[in-house]
Amino acid sequence: MTTDRSNPARPRHRGLCCSGRWLDLSTPVVMGVINVTPDSFSDGGQFAAQKNSFSVSIDKVLRQAESMVAAGAALLDVGGESTRPGARLVSEQEELDRVIPVVEAIAGEMDVIISIDTSTPSVITAGAAAGAGMVNDVRALQRDGALSAAATSRMAVCLMHMQGQPSNMQDQPRYQNVLDEVDDFLRRRVISAEAAGIDRSRLCIDPGFGFGKSDQHNYHLLAHLSYFLQQHKLPVLVGMSRKSMI
């Protein structure tokens, strides 16, 4: 990863403008994921301060963040609400309490772009103030106030496709044509984001592997991944780790 602070609005290479920092995407980069939740399907509860209770241990988070960056992660994604199949919603305050201290700690200790995995407008705003450079939203900024919060934040934005909600998204997902339907949804969300004032240099898209898709849907999207690059001319985020399809 390289970051160019001189003129992020006019990149020499393809990339993403993250709160004034340029994430160079002329070659693929790796995102490290830090879930500060008790119930995420991969690392839920890993960063608990005490056994049998959930409050975040900042020291544990920082050690994991340092390990990920040393292993080659170009940016770190911090999430305070599990989006695994069947996950429960958390309160706005609970999400703030989990995410913001972690973002502040990583931003204070490390020179790495931080992404926040959230759909909540107040978390978007507070995350930007705490030092995050990107918002990664599984609901593609569809919650009331999310578009305006992201637009004023200067953060990069990842718009993801999900059929349904985490609580029901894997209940027999169906499509007439999964490629066309995912593409159409992302196209409409990009238009909405630009209309809200989010420049294309701040946008990337995610087909949403495992979010309201069967394994067959996932494989079909993966086989046509280049289609999204060609159609949208935007960076594509691919979340494949620990998915049932692999």
CATH class of 25-232: alpha beta
pLDDT digits (tens, 9 = 90+) for 25-64: 999 999 999 998 874 445 444 554 444 444 678 999 999 9
User: In the prediction, which pLDDT does 165 show?
Assistant: 75
User: Taking a C-beta distance cutoff of 8 angstroms, is the pair 162, 207 a contact?
Assistant: no
Quick check: 98 pLDDT over 80? yes
Q: SS3 for the chain, per residue?
A: CCCCCCCCCCCCCCEEEECCEEEECCCCCEEEEEECCCCCCCCCCCCECCCCCCCECHHHHHHHHHHHHHCCEEEEEEECCCCCCCCCCCCHHHHHHHHHHHHHHHHHHCCCEEEEECCCHHHHHHHHHHCCCEEEECCCCCCCCHHHHHHHHCCEEEEECCCCCCCCCCCCCCCCCHHHHHHHHHHHHHHHHHHCCCCHHHEEEECCCCCCCCHHHHHHHHHCHHHHHHHHCCCECCCCCCCCCC
User: In the prediction, which pLDDT does 47 show?
Assistant: 54
User: In the prediction, which pLDDT does 175 show?
Assistant: 94
pLDDT band at 102 (very low <50, low <70, confident <90, very high): very high
Tell me the pTM.
0.86
Domain boundaries, the chain: 25-232
pLDDT band at 167 (very low <50, low <70, confident <90, very high): low
User: In the prediction, which pLDDT does 56 show?
Assistant: 75
Average pLDDT score over the chain: 87
Mean pLDDT of 222-233: 95
